Structure 1
Amino acid sequence: MRRPWPRSLAGQAIALQIVVIAVIVLAGSALALLDARRDGDEAARQQVVGVATALADSPSTVEAIESGRATELLQPVTEAVRTQTGIAFITIMAPDGIRFTHTDPQQIGGRYLGTTEPALRGETFSEVYTGTLGPSIRAVAPVRDGAGRIVGLVSAGITQQTLAQRWRAQVPTIAAVTLAAVLVSSVGLWLIRRRLLRQTHGLRPDELRVMYEHHDAILHSVSEGLIVLGRDGVALVNDEARRLLALPPGRIDVTQLPLFLQTSDPGVRDEVHVTDERVLVVNRSRVAGSDSEVVTIRDRTELQGALGELSSLQVLTDSLRAQAHEAANKLHTVVTMVEMGRPDDAVRFATHELELSQRLVDRLSQAVAEPALVALLLGKTAQADERGIALTVTEDTHLPSHSEALSGQEMVTVLGNLVDNAMDACDRDDPWVEVTVNQDERRLLMRVADSGPGMDPATFARAMRRGYSTKSGDDPAHHGLGLALVGQVVTRHRGTITADVSYGSVVTVTVPLERA
């Protein structure tokens, strides 16, 4: 069997509102009827007091009583006044209560039924009393002669039956107002119900509660950052997004988001962005049927570090491959010289090549105390030689001990990316790259120059925020990640990175030492 109580949230809300409105309307109608009755009684009281006082103060009333012809003179007057005012009765009597006038002529000469003592003391008063015409609201006023003596009393009254007919006549008006209020409320409730059904999709309260609990649980437990951007700003930020973007607790304003999230850009897929601390992969999509945009953020910092180490290993592998290829060529040359019967020339050739290679290894090993950096420079030298680029490590290169500014892996990240960018950007007609690594008591300096055209300040600033590459074939998702990673490391250690075009395109990284 179907329950009479509605199941959807919209139906339950409307049902409760109907009950509340019905109670309010019925209570208001009852109060309106009670107020109409009270106002009618008060108006009747004022009316009978006014009529009684006016007749009592009239000189003709005193003259008629003193003439001994009170009934003859006053009965027509009181009946005329009663007819004009619509009250039930007007009785003029002697101080002892004997009636001179009455609506029912047969009651003339009888004794007045009601209270007269206050009027005999000179007071005008009103009361509710049951007389010959039934319950009535009546007023009694004293009649005074010229000397101030009370020579008679005037009583005027309206029966409660008449009053009931008066306020009952207002019932149709009150009922019409009540009906109009119900109709207007019904239309409003119907419109509210339609809106609620559209916004809640007809779901029951328990279903909405379960959806909220699941929604809240997912937001707090999901391993990806989630941000919902609405028309009015940031609508939602989950815990992971706050952690990845270092956002404060509480409501988030759009200006607190990184620059790459402050503008609408739906449709972005796997776009890599580098912040001061992290490497993030961002996806953005618009919610169908609304102006909201959903942004998901994945942390690739650890993965990028692993990729950096893998890239370093790849560089070393390429260097070994290049050296092996070069060594094979030189070995064939030596063997051929021996076969030609020129062993002395073969020995001189082999010795010369060995001295050149060993001299470079010895110089770098003596100048640079970080073995990872030595391996990187040797590998880059072999890689540059294979690509036909003259890579020079300047005589100013000097790293006397393990750097207190950057770790070995961080130095490989910074210098490796700068050298890769330099080899990609150098002039193909005159390809050369120059590397300097120097450390003193205050700072660590890494400088890489190349024969390329360099970058203007605006392009360099954009490269540090968003990434930049001179290679047209780069994957857009990883476009220009090298400079951004360099900027991330330098910023984390409170260093500086500058670019200028002097004797070539020069990029300089300066990182202060911790003790300094």
Structure 2
Amino acid sequence: MPRTTSTRPRFATRALLLQLATVTLVVALCTGVYLLLTLQQLRAEAESTALGIARTLAEDPQVRAEVARISLAEGALDAEELRDGELQRLASEVTARTGALFVVITDDNGIRLAHPTPSRIGEEVSTPYEAVLAGAEVVDWQTGTLGESARAKVPVRDAAGSPVGEISVGFERAGVFDDLPPLLAMIAGTAAGALALAVLAFHLLRRRWERLTLGVQPEELVALVQNQTAVLDGVDDGVLAVDTRGVVRVSNAAADRLLGLDEPVGRSIDELGLAPAVLDAATGDRTRSSAIVGDRMLYLDSRPVVRDGQALGDVLIVRDRTDLVALTERLETVRTMTAALRVQRHEFANRMHVAAGLIDADRVPQARAFLGELVERGPVAFPVVGLDLVGDPFLHSFLGAKGVEAAERGVALRIAEDTQLIGTVQEAEDVAAVLGNLIDNAVTAALSGQRAPRWVEVALLDDGDALVFTVSDSGPGLGLGLGGIEPSPAQPREGTTDDDVHGHGIGLPLSTEIARRTGGDLWVIDQGGADSGAVFAARIGGAVARTSPDEKENT
């Protein structure tokens, strides 16, 4: 099938774009989720660190004692003293050691006792502190005088356990997300790698796809399936496709019927039990041949399938030629009868010239005797001994014509003395096809033998409305070709039709089919041997119309 000329992107391109879009979306979603989880993790780590530092500092005995002392003192706080005091020193050391944005210590009124900016010591904090002084721990992101930060607030308790102040530790946003740029870089690299792997995987998949489909796109595959279904189901010829491994890939209904197959697709050709000739043709060992399968004459045509220089297997075309060959047999009968009539016309014209000459010579008695003999013997003296035993006009002329043909080839045709035919033949075509084929085979067999003289003998009997006849010859017999000594059905040889002795090729199975179609049969009475040739018999049902003796006498 020709390639499509559509301007739409090829399936491979569309699949690539779809896959890239899918991978990009998946990577974007994963990146977003990962960033969200990373941000939450960084925030939680910052809050946890701030809370740990605040708790540690709030449990310090020196801090607890100093804050309790200041909170219980009366009067205003001395900011200058606090800037140089112990709490400011401790807060500064912790800030420097932990990298925190700030460490702030307050009393029970929220007044700063320690702060990174000394000038703000003695002032009230800018963020709520009531909950902490009530004994709760607060962890949150808040904005104060030093900006937004993740901060933890822990109460400072006196010896009795009552809150007397708070410790507030904070980490600035920039410090919390210092590890984010490397993470973003790693995520970006991972996303790029995933996209690159997706592109590579697609290219490998596309190459594999095109190698398996021979470059045919899905749209073309759909058209191929539609065309194949239409072609395979729309023809009477059998189509059997076998790949290079000998596995059946296609078999239409006609092939299954003609070859007697049952669901052969997917099975090895060697497992189907085909005749050798069919097997040779199906595997490409023989391009053209004929074969007998059952009672059908098949013509086999094998053709190799090659695409882009690659061998894909063989396609076997199976054509049923049974009806054609049967028609050929009937046409041969017509030709024989025509030749016989032509001989009769020529001979009759010659005898009329003789009779006219006798009359012209006034030899009337001789002319009358000649014409009487002509009426008694018939217009032609066929070279068939015993032909007068056959009263049916059709068989008389037919056997006479066959006798003329056999005589031309050096074989004498004779009618057996036990021939007895009362009725008249009404199925001339079937009788001529079967009897003519057996006589032709017998003549060929007689010519192939070494016995002299060469002869063929025919015996005819009627059995009700059936015609029964036997054909024997002086040939070498059948040997071991068709079975044992007992009478057996005449089975055709499997394979080609190269052997023309005794009709083991086309004619014999066709004759058998014709006989069986009428309710009769064709079989071997004697296979012959060193002393005698083969004897065939056939029965044609419904071939004879019975006539009474009076009717026969009148005719």
Provide TM-score, normalisation by structure 2: 0.66
Q: Secondary structure at the match of 1:154?
A: strand
Query: After alignment, is 478-487 or 493-502 more displaced?
Result: 493-502
Residues 373 and 242 (structure 1 numbering): CA distance in 2 closer, same or farther, change over 3 Å?
farther
Q: Distance in 2 between matches of 1:87 and 1:230?
A: 76
Q: Distance in 2 between matches of 1:394 and 1:113?
A: 143
Q: Secondary structure at the match of 1:111?
A: coil
Written as runs of structure 1 = structure 2, the 5 A alignment for 1:200-349 is 225-231=238-244, 233-237=247-251, 254=269, 259=275, 261-262=278-279, 264-266=282-284, 268-276=286-294, 279-288=297-306, 289-317=310-338
Could you tell me which of 495, 509, 526 is aligned with 1:466? 495
Q: Secondary structure at the match of 1:42?
A: helix
* Structure 2: segments with no counterpart, 5+ residues: 1-6, 72-81, 356-362, 484-488, 543-555
Q: Is the 8 Å Cα contact of residues 323 and 382 (structure 1) preserved in structure 2? A: no
Q: Is the 8 Å Cα contact of residues 322 and 510 (structure 2) preserved in structure 1? A: no
| Alignment partner of 1:456 is 2:480 | yes
Aligned partner of 1:132 in structure 2 is 145
Q: Distance in 2 between matches of 1:83 and 1:486?
A: 116
Q: How many Å apart are 1:293 and its aligned residue?
A: 1.5
- 1:480-499 deviation per Cα after TM superposition (whole angstroms, max 9, x unaligned): 22234245546767977655
Aligned partner of 1:40 in structure 2 is 42
Q: Is the 8 Å Cα contact of residues 465 and 541 (structure 2) preserved in structure 1? A: yes
- 1:117-136 deviation per Cα after TM superposition (whole angstroms, max 9, x unaligned): 55455544432221223222
Structure having the larger proportion of residues in helix? 1
Aligned partner of 1:505 in structure 2 is 534
Q: Secondary structure at the match of 1:429?
A: coil
One-letter identity of the residue aligned with 2:405: Q
Q: Work out the percentage of aligned pairs sharing the same amino acid.
A: 26
Q: Secondary structure at the match of 2:302?
A: strand
Query: After alignment, is 278-287 or 318-327 more displaced?
Result: 318-327
Provide TM-score, normalisation by structure 1: 0.70
Q: Distance in 2 between matches of 1:121 and 1:399?
A: 137
Q: Is the 8 Å Cα contact of residues 52 and 141 (structure 1) preserved in structure 2? A: yes
Could you tell me which of 444, 462, 482 is aligned with 2:507? 482
- 1:353-373 deviation per Cα after TM superposition (whole angstroms, max 9, x unaligned): 94997994554347xxxx766
Q: Is the 8 Å Cα contact of residues 498 and 507 (structure 1) preserved in structure 2? A: yes
Q: Secondary structure at the match of 2:241?
A: strand
Residues 179 and 326 (structure 1 numbering): CA distance in 2 closer, same or farther, change over 3 Å?
same
Could you tell me which of 165, 170, 173 is aligned with 1:157? 170
Q: How many Å apart are 1:285 and its aligned residue?
A: 1.4
Q: Secondary structure at the match of 2:110?
A: coil
- 1:29-50 deviation per Cα after TM superposition (whole angstroms, max 9, x unaligned): 4444344333323333343344
- 1:176-225 deviation per Cα after TM superposition (whole angstroms, max 9, x unaligned): 22333333344444555666778889899888877777676666656755
Query: After alignment, is 259-268 or 437-446 more displaced?
Result: 437-446
Q: Is the 8 Å Cα contact of residues 95 and 152 (structure 1) preserved in structure 2? A: yes
Q: How many Å apart are 1:310 and its aligned residue?
A: 1.0
The structure with the larger Rg is 2
Q: How many equivalent pairs are there?
A: 490
Q: Is the 8 Å Cα contact of residues 300 and 319 (structure 2) preserved in structure 1? A: yes
Q: Distance in 2 between matches of 1:359 and 1:155?
A: 140
Q: Is the 8 Å Cα contact of residues 275 and 488 (structure 1) preserved in structure 2? A: no
Q: How many Å apart are 1:311 and its aligned residue?
A: 1.3
Q: How many Å apart are 1:309 and its aligned residue?
A: 1.4
One-letter identity of the residue aligned with 2:289: E
Q: Distance in 2 between matches of 1:321 and 1:14?
A: 80
Residues 436 and 479 (structure 1 numbering): CA distance in 2 closer, same or farther, change over 3 Å?
closer
Query: After alignment, is 308-317 or 139-148 more displaced?
Result: 139-148
